[in-house]
Amino acid sequence: MEPAPLSSLQEEDVEEREPAGEDSAFSAAAVPPRPATHQSQHKYAPLDWSAYFDEERRVAIPGTDDVFNVYTAGSEGPVVFCLHGGGYSGYVCAAVYLGTFDMFGQSDCVNANGSGLAEMLSMASRIKDKARVVAMDLRGHGKSTTSDDLDLSIETLTNDVIAVIRTMYGDSPPAIILVGHSMGGSVAVHVAARKEIRNLHGLVVVDVVEGTAMASLVHMQKILANRVQHFPSIEKAIEWSVKGGPLRNIESARVSIPSTLKYNESQGCYSYRTGLEETEKYWKGWYEGLSDKFLSCPVQKILLLAGTDRLDRALTIGQMQGKFQMIVVRHTGHAIQEDVPEEFASHILNFISRNKIGPNGVEIPGLIKKWGR
């Protein structure tokens, strides 16, 4: 695949030329020199995961060469186990804590440098007393390494998640809520349907519906090919992700995008870590039969959608029969958890509170906010 042109991504010339003239207030003599750092580089600088998660762990699966990278935050309450979509990474669940900051009215203390995070994290600790987040880099994504990173079959991905949960928690896991976005939503459904995870109490699927997904597969190769494929810097990749790519939240992109890239030594630029275009033979398996499987999962369920047109017939009937809760999150793109993290976090925590999930039935008062539909 030929690299996409980089001309549109080169640094902007921040020095504007002004008309000559001794009396001009904007002449070169009157204007102080600009700092060397470009504003665009500053605005899109990466943010470190440690501001959002407590720990990064390497989970080695016994009897295999597979090692999965896992991020954790919090130490008490039920586990919100997050599965990202294709091409993303576990960093997307940093949005859960981005969301808790805004819910407590602390968003104004964040500037372009990411400063103010300490104050926000102190408020977020109140959430971490009630629930904990575990975010996994799936096979072929992020920092996970396996014997076959291109085997993204639904069976393999499902087995991976079950193996990680068992390795981390043994036979007595805490109360678990599976949260999956897009491809990760399909994996979450398949894990829940297997009924092999003890103490599984909830399933949250984010913006994936069988009918819509199956219909879009014929366009997927074209969509992947039309992405900008190479970036001169990580900052430019972050900038593209919010200007022409899938995200709308700059701060979330500054956390999540770097882990989706790798440095190409031969070309001297950054490219995507995950070769999704090479896994086409698995795509149909991700979504085929997903709606019926979702409806049959014997746990409390919620479906978060970016638009009402995404429901297929099976889910429309199931929703009318009260088999799951559906919430339409408006004014957002496909990556709901990154575009509106405060609303996303609110829905997750309300789900835990409403269903009293946890050791003694977790109650989180005051979180049913304007987001309810």
pLDDT digit string, tens, across residues 260-305: 999 999 889 999 999 999 999 999 999 999 999 999 999 999 999 9
Smallest Cα–Cα separation from 272: which of 221, 234, 244? Answer: 234
Q: Give the pLDDT confidence of 323-366 residue by residue, as tens digits.
A: 999 999 988 888 888 788 878 888 888 899 888 887 544 444 44
Catalytic entry in 107, 153, 233, 334: 334
Give domain status of residue 71, yes or no: yes
Give domain status of residue 68, yes or no: yes
Contact 203, 194 (CB under 8 A): no
Rg (CA), the chain: 22
> For the purposes of burial, counting CB atoms within 10 Å of the CB of 303, is it exposed (0-12), middle (13-18) or buried (19 or more)?
buried
Q: What is the CATH number of the domain that holds 78?
A: 3.40.50.1820
**In the predicted structure, residue 32 carries a pLDDT above the cut 50:** no
- Whole-number pLDDT of residue 94: 62
Q: Give the pLDDT confidence of 45-83 residue by residue, as tens digits.
A: 998 877 778 899 999 999 999 999 999 988 888 999 999
**In the predicted structure, residue 2 carries a pLDDT above the cut 60:** no
- Whole-number pLDDT of residue 152: 97
Catalytic entry in 66, 137, 207, 339: 207
Q: What DSSP letter does each residue of 11-77 carry, written as one string?
A: PP---------TT-TTSTTTSPPPPSS-HHHHHT----GGGT-SEEEEEEPTTSS-EEEEEEE-SSS
- Whole-number pLDDT of residue 174: 93
Contact 94, 267 (CB under 8 A): no
Catalytic site includes residue 207: yes
Give domain status of residue 351, yes or no: yes
- pTM for the predicted model, two decimal places: 0.79
Contact 156, 141 (CB under 8 A): no
Domain extent, residue 61, equals 45-98+124-215+276-355
For residue 132, give the H/E element and its range.
Answer: strand 132-136
Query: What share of the chain has pLDDT > 90, as a percent?
Result: 50
Smallest Cα–Cα separation from 52: which of 345, 302, 348, 350? Answer: 345
The number of distinct structural domains making up the chain is 1
Least-confidence region, from 108-112, 125-129, 175-179: 108-112
Q: Is the dihedral of CA 307, 310, 314, 316 positive or negative?
A: positive
Smallest Cα–Cα separation from 296: which of 199, 195, 198, 206? Answer: 195
- Whole-number pLDDT of residue 334: 86
Give domain status of residue 115, yes or no: no
Query: Hey, is 204 helix, strand or coil?
Result: strand
Give domain status of residue 152, yes or no: yes
Catalytic entry in 89, 144, 182, 353: 182
Read off the pLDDT band of 106 (50, 70, 90).
very low
Give domain status of residue 81, yes or no: yes
Give domain status of residue 82, yes or no: yes
Three-state SS string across 181-196, please? ECHHHHHHHHHHHHCC
Give domain status of residue 234, yes or no: no
**In the predicted structure, residue 253 carries a pLDDT above the cut 90:** no
